[in-house]
Amino acid sequence: MDSFPAIEIDKVKAWDFRLANINTSECLNVAYGVDANYLDGVGVSITSIVLNNRHINLDFYIIADVYNDGFFQKIAKLAEQNQLRITLYRINTDKLQCLPCTQVWSRAMYFRLFAFQLLGLTLDRLLYLDADVVCKGDISQLLH
């Protein structure tokens, strides 16, 4: 990642409603990188994963350039209702202005790279998903 500019990524909020006896070594870590246009999609994607995988421990990480209060409320409710840990990070995109993008591919496409750079420091495994992914079944095999 040496060719990428140093980017500021700050933890904005975190909710942890996991049960006290959770086995964190058997946890599937899922990350998203989105801009404002896909915040709602993240909620749908997380919900689809949770509804089809209640038998596994899940932690979610969202990296975005902007958030709003409505999103905070929805994500907090989702975390509480489903006993999840969801952590939000804000990425400063000022230094990404030099990287190419198009009308179809916004600078948010680079967020996934920074997700691995940031979260790879503390997590052994990380599943990155686009916000338009809907889970239709069991994904527990990804734990092994």
85 or 99: which leads in pLDDT: 85
What's the mean pLDDT in 26-42?
92
Specify the pLDDT at position 1: 44
Distance CA 106, CA 111 (A): 10
Query: Quick one: pLDDT band at residue 21, thresholds 50, 70, 90?
Result: low
Could you give all domains of the chain from N- to C-terminal order, each with its CATH number? 9-143 (3.90.550.10)
Task: Name the average pLDDT for the chain.
Answer: 87
Is the Cβ–Cβ distance between 49 and 139 less than 8 Å?
yes
What's the mean pLDDT in 26-45?
93
120 has pLDDT over 90: no
Q: Which two tokens stand for residue 86?
A: 């969801």
Distance CA 78, CA 72 (A): 10
The whole-model pTM stands at 0.87
Specify the pLDDT at position 77: 96
What's the mean pLDDT in 26-31?
92
| Percent of the chain surpassing pLDDT 90 | 51
The 3-class SS string of 40-91 reads HHHHHHHHHHHHHCCCCEEEEEEEECCCCHHHHHHHHHHHHHCCCEEEEEEE
Specify the pLDDT at position 68: 92
Planar angle of CA 41, 77, 18, nearest 5 degrees: 105
